[in-house]
Structure formats: structure tokens, C-alpha cells
Amino acid sequence: MKKHNFSAGPAILPAEVIKEAAAGVLDINNIGLSLLEVSHRDKDFMNIMEEARSLVKELMGLSSEYQVLFLGGGASTQFAMVPSNLLVKDGTAAYVNTGVWASKAIKEAKMVGNINVIASSEDKKFSYVPKNYTIPTDANYLHVTSNNTIYGTQMHSYPDSPIPLVCDMSSDIFSRQLDFSKFSLIYAGAQKNMGAAGATMVIVKESLLGKTGRKMFSMLDYQVHIKGESMYNTPPVFPVYVSLLTMKWLKKNGGLAWIEAINRKKAELMYAEIDRNSLFTGTVVKEDRSWMNATFLLTKPELEETFNKMWKEAAIVGIKGHRDVGGYRASMYNALTIEDVQALVDVMKDFEKKNG
């Protein structure tokens, strides 16, 4: 029996994507070879890479001024690549700190140059998203993190930035409609909402590059990867393929408008139960709640063992909270169905009925 998978990442994928990806591992395009043993210079994989890069821009409605890359190293490598490519020597970059991953991005960027943290929610344990901050017009870029997987907050609107806007969208990429042209650079690890672990997608306005006045290692240089069409070195072939299949699944079903409507319903169902149920309480301010990661606590911690037993018996996995915050976290990425969410809600209702 397929379990209800609320894992925060690597996360749930559509069943048809897993089936097709598995077939490709056995034999890609009926050529008698596994995807895992085909040269990345072979047309069978080059076509996969080109289609994946093209489909990113199609789903997001982006123009030809943007380049799309699929790289290795995870989103954590982008914490260094972004300032290396955009932060001018003796310049300054502005960052908003909304959680663990934003904090790590700030730490890495400080090793490259001058960083100004212009807003932070650390004062209240990252339980909200800062607003109404002043963006310095003389900074080279503004970096934000769209969704906080650990603490359960999400940016539901973005500032009209007078400087290039950079966003880490690792945990809510392709989950909703946005005006993606507001962003000059977007990056996202694939394993939370668009594919298998091992690939990181980068979308960047090419006109921004080559202006820092600094020397870079080739592997950290976006221009090198653009020139190599994401194949300067051997790319993560299988995660790119799974990402392509997931994007094709999205497009076939109606794109970002389709998945946004579903994600909204899942979040509304989950949070309605958290707010209604006397044995649970949410951990973040309501207006900044994440559609992707609902975080909550027991109002009677002594019942933890009882609740854990109930959700495990219901074939639910992955809802234990991050070690830094405890409690529970229900990650509701694109491939998670509303029926999965209903299964958890039913357990929560039954738990209250028996223990409230």
C-alpha cells in the first residue's frame, strides 16, 4: 500500500512520473540502453536537457532574456554562486533573513563580499515574514527565500524591488502562479517539489552577468554553464529527467493555475483542522502560513506517543517536525493529494475525539 508521504524532502512525486522514470532507467527511448549509461552528449539526453530548460520558461511565462540551467551541488552551492556572479567588488548585497536556509545563504555570501541584512524575523523564532522594510537602491541585488520549510512560513507577496530580486524557491517552485518577470534570478533544489535529489535549477537574466570585476572558478560561473548549455561538466542526468517528467505532468494537467488551486485547497483543509482542533496549535502567524509546510504543536505534549502511534497506524509518514523546532510538520508538495491531507485530518479528528 502506498503511504501518505508528508516528507519535507526528498519528497513525494506523482505516481506516473515515478513509473516513467523507472522505465527510463531500464531503457530510455527504446534504444536498448539505460538513461544511467547514456552519454550526456548523446542526442537522447541532449534532447531531454533542452526540453527541460524550455519547459521551465514555458510554465513560468519567461522571455528569451532568461537562461535556464540545471546544475549539481544543491541549492546550498547557490548560496556562494549568487554573490560570486552578482556582487560587484566593493559593492553590497541586501538579504532578508527568514529562517535556517536564508541564514546559511547570508553566511556564505559574507565570505564573498559585503552583505547587509535589511530585515529579519529571527527575533520571534522565524514565526513571521518581515514586511515594510527599506530596500537600499545602491545594493547590487536583494535576496529573499520564498518558503521556510523548517518553520513553516511563506512569502505570499514580493516587494517591488528597485534592484535585481533574487529568490531561493527550493521548496515552493512550480506550486503557484507568480509574475516571475519580477525576479532577476531564481534557484531551486529539485528534490522538494519538482524532481529527484541531485539537480538544482537556476533561472537568470543573462544581462546581469559578467559585471562583478572578480575572477571566478569556472564551476561557479553562470556564464560558463550558459555557454555549455548546462553541460560544462557531466550534469545530474537522472534528476534532470525526473524534473522534466514532473514539468510535463504539470503542463498536461493545466500548469501552475491548476496546481495552485489544488495546493490552496490542501492548505485550507490542513489549517482549518489545526485551528479547530483543541489538541493542536499552529506555530506561525496566520497571514504568513506556508502552503507547502504546515507546522504545528500538541497542546498536550504528554500525548505525543499516543498521537504518533495513531498516524503511523494510518500509513502516514514524514510529519515529525524538524529537530530545531520539534512538533509536527506536514509538507504538502505538488504531488501530495487532497486525499492524503484528508487522511491526516481524519487522524487528528479521531485523536481529539479519544483524548480531548
Which residues are known to be catalytic? 101, 168, 192
Please state, in angstroms and as integers, the Cα–Cα distance from residue 175 to each residue in 107, 225, 254, 256, 333, following that order: 28, 26, 12, 6, 8
- The span from the CA of 129 to the CA of 120, in Å, is 8
Strand, helix or coil for residue 60: helix
Query: 321: Cβ–Cβ under 8 A, 6 or more apart, which residues?
Result: 295, 327, 328, 329
* Surface-to-core class of residue 300, CB atoms within 10 Å of its CB (0-12 exposed, 13-18 middle, 19+ buried): middle
CA angle, corner 99, sides to 71 and 79, nearest 5? 30
- Tell me, what DSSP letter sits at residue 289? B
- Tell me, what DSSP letter sits at residue 133? P
Stretch (H or E) spanning 48: helix 43-60
Q: Position of cell 554573490?
A: 83
- The span from the CA of 263 to the CA of 341, in Å, is 11
Would you mind telling me the total number of residues written for the chain in this entry? 356
Phi–psi pair at 284, nearest 5 degrees: -130, 165
Phi–psi pair at 118, nearest 5 degrees: -90, -15
Written as nine digits, the cell of 256 is 501552475
Contact 266, 336 (CB under 8 A): yes
